[in-house]
Each structure stands twice: as structure tokens, then as C-alpha cells.
Amino acid sequence: MEKYSVSDCSMVELDRHHSDRKGNLTVVENGKTLPFDVKRVYYLYDVPGGENRGSHAHKELSQLIVAASGSFTVTLDDGKCKRSFFLNRPYQGLYVKPGMWRDLEDFSSGAVCMVLASEVYKADDYIRDYQEFLKFREK
Ligand code: TYD
């Protein structure tokens, strides 16, 4: 499996349809928007102020993380470098390649963190221990 670094992860501008009178619509479509097909969508919401989410890595999963509402910060860590992204636009997504430790924090009130994922849920794709993550990255 290819080893990615935080510099391989970036913000992706999503297709936006604007109407002055009726608001906005953003589309993510398999085969067009992302280099992976979406098999699962989940979203985090009602995160209490000051709480963090994430604190894990995925071995094989690719994800697009979108602030569908509100804002939060995602910090990615490849074991050597860290990179933080402030997400606050529903028409932008953070493309997270496999093998990144991620911490999500500073959720605004009413924030909705929508995640589009390349695979169905697999508990054994998670690494939840940071030391184990560093060993995984050294392999
Ligand atoms: P987790 O991925 O640890 O959440 P976060 O990183 O946002 O803090 O998931 C929290 C719980 O939800 C955990 O018990 C696993 C469960 N879960 C599913 O059952 N299916 C899923 O697709 C996801 C993402 C989580």
C-alpha cells in the first residue's frame, strides 16, 4: 500500500450551484468529484463545545471531510509532519488519504461534520493507539 504524507492531503473545491434568490447547492458525484467512489456517508453533530473527535487513523480508508454547517479544525499527522485545516465552507472538502492520524477540534455551535468515505465501516481499519500508529507508519 502506498504511503502518503500530509502534503498529499488538500482542500478540494466542490461543485457549487448558486441562486441569488434560493440559496446554494453542492454536488459530490462518483466518478467526477473525487478519485474514489463513496460507499458510506456519516456525519457528526451536536458536538459539545470544547470536545474533540477523531484521535485515530485509518489503514486503508480515504475520506472527504466537509463542514456541512458551522466550522471546526482538522489536524492531520503522518507520523512526521502535522498539518491543520480550518473547515468552514460547505462547498469545500478536505481530502484525507489513508494512513493519517486525525484530530477534529474547535467545533462551532451547530457544526455538522459530514464525512464521505471510500469503504463501508470496518472496525479493524482503525488504529486508535498513537504508538501503534507510529509503528504502522514505520513499516
Ligand atoms: P468514531 O469513528 O470513533 O468517531 P469519531 O472519530 O468521530 O470520534 O466512531 C464513533 C462510534 O460510532 C464507534 O463506536 C463506531 C461507530 N461507528 C459506526 O458504527 N459506523 C460508522 O460508520 C462510524 C464512522 C462509526
What are the 10-residue block averages of pLDDT along the chain, 139 residues in total?
A: 93 96 96 95 97 98 98 98 98 98 98 98 98 96
Q: What is the pLDDT of residue 139?
A: 85
List phi, psi (to 5°) of 6. Answer: -60, -25
> Would the pTM count as exceeding 0.75?
yes
Cβ–Cβ under 8 Å, residues 99 and 59: yes
CA 17 to ligand 1 center in whole angstroms = 31
**CA 24 to mean position of chain CA atoms:** 22
Entry field: residues in the chain = 139
Q: What is the pLDDT of residue 2?
A: 82
Q: Which helix (DSSP H) or strand (DSSP E) does residue 135 occupy?
A: helix 130-138
Q: Cell triple for residue 114?
A: 459530514
Is 17 labeled as catalytic in the residue annotation?
no
Dihedral angle, C-alpha 13, 99, 121, 123, nearest 10 °: -160
Domains of the chain: residue spans and CATH: 6-138 (2.60.120.10)
- For ligand 1, pick from 43, 53, 74, 103 the residue to mutate: most ligand atoms within 8 Å of CB: 53
> Active-site residue among 17, 18, 56, 58?
56
CA 118 to ligand 1 center in whole angstroms = 15
Sign, CA dihedral 116-118-124-129, equals negative
Q: Report the alpha-carbon distance of residue 31 to residue 50 in Å, rounded.
A: 37
